[in-house]
Every structure is written in C-alpha cells, then in structure tokens.
Structure 1
Amino acid sequence: MKVNVQRDVCMRFGADFFGCDLSLKVGVARNVQDGLRPLNGLRLQPGNDVCGWYLWAGDEFSHAEDFFVPLHGIHLKEWAPLVIPYLGLPPGWRFLITEQYEDAWEDPQLLESE
C-alpha cells in the first residue's frame, strides 16, 4: 500500500519513483515530533546506511551540526506519518506539506553540492 501511495505522489508531481528503504536512516530535526507545520523534506543521494532524506518542521532551517539527528526511517510512522507518501521522490527533490497543503519540486542544486 505504502509504495502505491508513494508512486501516486511521484506521478502527480511528474517525478520518477525512487524507493526509500525504511530500514535506512533519515536525518530528522527533533521539532518534527512537535506537531509544528509545515513539514519539509529534501533528498540527497542515498549512501551507506542513509536513504538521503532530511526532514524538519516549521519555516526555519538550521545549518547547526546538531539540527538533524539520525533516525531509522521505520520510526517515521510515529514521528511524522504525514511524510511517508513523499518518500518515493528521487534525490534532488523537496517537499513542503501540511494536512491541508502539499507541494513538491525538483531542486537540482541539492545534488550539485555533493
């Protein structure tokens, strides 16, 4: 079911589906658990034990070294189930969502800095 929903999101935004192994780690800001909106995500290239996703809540992004903590993707079911349909978007994509709003777009600059 989850993969079909992720494929539907990709199709809606004209993106290729790029699966996300939830046994791998995501970088997640602690504020994602707080119910703060919007939820933001960006995907870099996966590697080793990470799937490439970085997630945060609210309007403020931080470059602080401790802003993101590693979390196995499977725990997103408790932390932020709202993001799971968007995790099939490929590297170089972003999303911004709330319960009433969604946007996803390609951002090639995400892959240039790698």
Structure 2
Amino acid sequence: MCAKYGSNFNPINIKLFIGIGADMEYEPINGLRHPEHGTMNGWYIWCGEFSDSDDFFKPIHIECLLESNPEILKYLSLDVGFRFLIDKKGYEDVWFDEKLKNI
C-alpha cells in the first residue's frame, strides 16, 4: 500500500491507541494519520458523518479494531499525513494531506 501511494513505510506502535468513531458498522470508512501524541498512535478512523465533538473518538487497541474491520490493516503503515476512504465494495481512495502533520 505504501509503495502504491508513494508513502514511506511507517508501522504503528501497537502499544498505543487508535481513535475510533463510535459506530464502525456504516460505510464508507475514513481514516487519517496525525503524528503520535500521548497514548495515541495518530490514526483516527470513523464511518459516516464526521463530528468535531470532543467525545466523537474513543481510544481502542489495534487488535479490537482489526477483529471487526480487518480490511483496515493494510492502510495502517501509511505515513503521517495520509488519509484513506474505503468501502466493502472495493472503493479505495488514498491521499496525502500536509495539514495532518501538525496537530
């Protein structure tokens, strides 16, 4: 995935948390990667409409996310600043967003 989209290979620290939107049953699935900070590895993933509410994202371990959404795994080594948008029908869009490098 990294080679396909011109990203450096940047695996996540599995001891840190991913921020996940409350309901991961809808589509499309959105993901973006900020730099690591505190106990967060920088990935924020959600489905449906985005909210800037303080409680929109909940921290979870990578294992919990991959049990319910294994298709996400191949995107998690994209470098800081990358985003993705996918659905279960095969749609895939991956792009770099410079603004994500600064929190």
Normalising by structure 2, report the TM-score.
Answer: 0.91
SS in 2 for 1:31: coil
**Percentage of identical aligned residues:** 39
8 Å CA contact 1:21, 1:73 repeated in 2:
no
Aligned length: 102
Q: Identify unmatched segments of 5+ residues in structure 2.
A: none
Q: Identify unmatched segments of 5+ residues in structure 1.
A: 1-8
Query: In structure 2, what is the equivalent of residue 54 of structure 1?
Result: 44
Q: Distance in 2 between matches of 1:29 and 1:79?
A: 13
For residue 21 of structure 1, report the CA deviation from its aligned partner.
2.3
**2:83 counterpart of 1:94:** yes
For residue 15 of structure 1, report the CA deviation from its aligned partner.
0.8
8 Å CA contact 1:28, 1:55 repeated in 2:
yes
Match of 1:104 among 77, 94, 100: 94
Whose helix fraction is larger, Structure 1's or Structure 2's? 1
Moved over 2 A (4+): none
Normalising by structure 1, report the TM-score.
Answer: 0.83
Q: Deviations over 1:59-89 (max 9, x none)?
A: x110011110010112112232111110001
8 Å CA contact 1:23, 1:74 repeated in 2:
no
Query: In structure 1, what is the equivalent of residue 12 of structure 2?
Result: 20
8 Å CA contact 1:18, 1:90 repeated in 2:
yes
